[in-house]
């Protein structure tokens, strides 16, 4: 399966963070390279050589299969983000809801901020909860006024 090459760096970063390692730790395990060099492998669009990629995976004690699973997850997240972007463009109510959620969380959305992915994942959970709440409110309203008559 082919993956968007821009996802490699963020996938490596997530794997490292999940292991509780810092960039400096990985650099030491890779033979004493600088943390800034490790950071360059984790940027969107990073393209480390094959040997470097395997040294990085060894340093975080991960396999190529682990990386493939992470890339699959990143690819699915990117597809969801693209769908949300399309909805944000086409549905004003959806855009307003996201804006209100960002404001309530006091987060300034920034496409260059890698933590935006985490925020979007949390917002999706809020969205699902809101859908369930709206359905419940509709049902309660129907029970209170089954014929839709106005008093």
User: Residue 40's domain is classified under what CATH number?
Assistant: 1.10.260.40
CB 78 within 8 A of CB 7: yes
In a domain, 151, yes or no: no
Cβ(18)–Cβ(10) under 8 Å?
Answer: no
Start-to-end CA span in the chain (Å): 60
pLDDT digits (tens, 9 = 90+) for 80-137: 777 766 666 666 676 666 666 666 665 555 554 545 555 666 666 666 667 777 777 7
Taken in order 61, 67, 68, 73, the sign of the CA dihedral is: positive
Per the domain annotation, does 82 fall within a domain?
A: no
Domain span including residue 53:
5-64
Q: Would you say residue 135 lies in a domain?
A: yes
Domain tally, the chain: 2
* Stronger pLDDT, 137 or 17, i.e. the higher one: 17
- Considering the domain boundaries, does residue 109 fall inside one? yes
Q: What is the pLDDT of residue 136?
A: 74
Q: Is residue 150 situated within a structural domain?
A: no
Q: What pLDDT does residue 114 have?
A: 47
Residue 1, pLDDT above cutoff 60: no
Q: Is residue 29 scored above 70 in pLDDT?
A: yes
């Amino acid at each position: 399966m082919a993956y968007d090459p821009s996802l490699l760096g963020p996938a490596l970063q997530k794997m490292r963070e999940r292991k509780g390692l810092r960039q400096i730790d990985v650099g030491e395990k890779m033979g004493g390279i600088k943390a800034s060099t490790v950071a360059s492998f984790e940027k969107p669009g990073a393209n480390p050589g094959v040997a470097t990629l395997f040294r990085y995976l060894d340093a975080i004690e991960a396999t190529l299969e682990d990386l493939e699973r992470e890339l699959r997850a990143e690819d699915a997240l990117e597809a969801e983000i693209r769908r949300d972007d399309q909805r944000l463009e086409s549905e004003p109510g959806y855009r307003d809801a996201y804006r209100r959620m960002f404001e309530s969380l006091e987060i300034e959305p920034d496409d260059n901020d890698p933590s935006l992915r985490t925020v979007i994942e949390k917002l999706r959970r809020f969205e699902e909860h809101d859908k369930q709440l709206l359905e419940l409110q509709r049902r309660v309203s129907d029970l209170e006024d089954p014929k839709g008559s106005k008093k």
